[in-house]
Each structure stands twice: as C-alpha cells, then as structure tokens.
Amino acid sequence: MSTRTRVLLWVTASLVMFAAASLPIAGQGGGALGRPGGLAGVDTEGAAATAAKAGPIPRRSDGHPDLTGTFNGSPGGVTHTVILEEHPPGFGVLGGQSLIIDPKDGIIPYLPWALEERDRRRDDANGYEDQVGHCEFYDIGRIHSFTQEYMFSGNTFIINATQHITRVVPMDGRPHLPAGIRLWLGDPVGHWEGDTLVVDSTNFNDRTRMSLGGDFHGADAHIVERFQMVDANTIKWTMTIDNPKVFARPWTMTSPALMKRIKPAPDFDIEDTCHEGNVDLVHLKNTYYQAHGKDAKPKYGTDTDIRK
C-alpha cells in the first residue's frame, strides 16, 4: 500500500475522532458553534464588521499592549488540526501550507527515532491512541485554530480556549514548577519583551499530540509562545519548540492565519459535550485491536515520559 494511500486512510479514521470531540456541540443546537477547525464560539456575522475597525494598539495602564478580547486564527474548516506540515485537500480536510516557519523548508526536524514514532502514530490503525478521541485534553500546539479569549487579572494573563482549555499564566517572574510535576498543558510563566507578551512553558506530561497526524513534542519540551499585537484587532502568534531528545534543532510554527479579533457568540462557553454519544471511539478501538490483536496495549506517550 502506498504512503499516500495510507495517509488518506488515516485521515478518514482520524476525522471520525475529531468529530467525536467537536461535532456533538452542533447536535445540541449550536450550529456554527460546533463546526470543526476553529469556528466554535464565533459570531460570524459580526466578525467581518469587527475586523474592519482596526486602529492603534490598545494599552493597559502599565503601557503594555492590552490583548484583552476574543481572537481566532483559523481560515475555517478542518485544516491544520490534522497535519501541521503542508498537505493536500481530501476527505473533508482543507489543503494547507505548512505552519512551520523555521526551518524554512516547513518540515519539523524530528530525530530519526521520533520521525518513526510520528509515522507510527499517523498510521490509520493507531487512531485509537490519540487522547482527543477519548475526550481528553488538546495539546497547546493543537488549539491554534480554535477561538481563544485573552484577558488579564492583576499580574496574570489568562488564555481560555474552547473545549474548556484554560491556562493561567503568572507574570510575576516566578520560576517553573519542580521537574517532577508534569501537566497536560505544561507550566506556563509569562513576561514582556518590549511590546511582545512571551509565555514560557515546561513540565509537560507527554500524553498529548500536536495534531491528528501524530506530531508530538515529548515531556521535556521547552515551548515559547509570542503574542505580538499588530493593530487593535490583530495578533501575530508564534510557538517555538525545543527538545533535544525529540528534535534535531528548535523549530517555530504559527497559526494558519493571523489571530483576528472577533465578536464572540453569546454562548461561547457552551457545554462541550464529548463523552455523550461518542460511539466513534468504539469503532477506533475495534480497528486498533483488529490490526494489533486483542492483547495489544495502546501506546500513550513515549520513552521520554518521566513517569515511566
């Protein structure tokens, strides 16, 4: 079977898993709120009008940019939640250019063993191992296409995305947590570099994936996000990932489109129903055990997981 055929088969199975985590919202009467690919929580009628009113960068009392608001960096539809690198369209997935802006070839610089592991995860028979299909957390490198709320509370920056993925980022100069504490979203601490808000994260638990395509960064990743306001309604977001155990060099990605201020839908925080009616997980499980045998044990994480 050709590599292209296997990838297309995998995408088909993976879309089922994506639907398990996202589409039930639409079934609850949410309409566009449940549309996969980042439009959940968007008032699409008011978004264009808001974007047309861009002006000077708003500032807080301390002089730093005020990022407060609701932003979205998705071009619409299922795109880079599936594959971060350049990929063709098909099976309901929009084609897209690579989100990797460094290195310039747009390819994630995996070490040989890590590339082999990424490809193993990408195999359509292994979709059951992706935690998103189990209604568990999205990786912070996977929510770039989703609507996000930014706000400040005192000396704290708060990032609230759909699926109830919320990060509280202290800006008081504190150090990271002890190395033995591992978290789904890592331990974020923030600071300002001029007008750019920088979020520095470590202490990951190695159980998440950066895309349905199997990309991962490992437990010992050091991730630095930069939020740079371009104008009152636009934020340029980048994420630089370094982990010598997984990658040959640090690399940087960005969102499919610039983060644009939008008018949030009234029910942005609608209940995220996922476990209810998640029959697709049964199909993924059956596919997994048919491929690997009834005694197979799903592989979550890698040998870089500190808990092993």
Q: How many domains does the chain have?
A: 1
CA nearest to 159, candidates 84, 51, 73:
73
- Predicted local confidence at residue 36, as pLDDT: 31
Q: What average pLDDT does the structure give for the chain? A: 80
Any domain includes 142: yes
Any domain includes 301: no
- Predicted local confidence at residue 161, as pLDDT: 83
Any domain includes 308: no
Any domain includes 225: yes
- Predicted local confidence at residue 238, as pLDDT: 97
Higher per-residue confidence, 34 vs 164:
164
The stretch 180-206 carries a mean pLDDT of: 96
CA nearest to 232, candidates 6, 69, 103:
69
Any domain includes 60: yes
- Predicted local confidence at residue 305, as pLDDT: 36
The tens digit of pLDDT for each residue in 220-263 reads 999 999 999 999 999 999 999 999 999 999 999 999 889 999 98
Domain containing residue 36 = 3-292
CA nearest to 288, candidates 118, 90, 80, 120:
120
Higher per-residue confidence, 303 vs 119:
119
- For 176, counting Cβ atoms within 10 Å of its Cβ (0-12 exposed, 13-18 middle, 19+ buried), the class is middle
The tens digit of pLDDT for each residue in 35-61 reads 333 444 444 444 444 445 678 999 999
Higher per-residue confidence, 3 vs 100:
100
- Predicted local confidence at residue 3, as pLDDT: 44
- Predicted local confidence at residue 77, as pLDDT: 62
If one counts every other C-beta atom within 10 angstroms of the C-beta of residue 257, the result is: 16
Any domain includes 63: yes
- Predicted local confidence at residue 303, as pLDDT: 40
Q: Are strands 251-254 and 234-242 parallel, antiparallel or unpaired?
A: antiparallel
Any domain includes 297: no
pLDDT category of residue 75 using cuts at 50, 70 and 90: confident
- Predicted local confidence at residue 12, as pLDDT: 47
What pTM does this model have?
0.81
Any domain includes 162: yes
Q: Inform me whether the pLDDT recorded for 164 exceeds 80.
A: no
Q: Inform me whether the pLDDT recorded for 179 exceeds 90.
A: yes
pLDDT category of residue 33 using cuts at 50, 70 and 90: very low
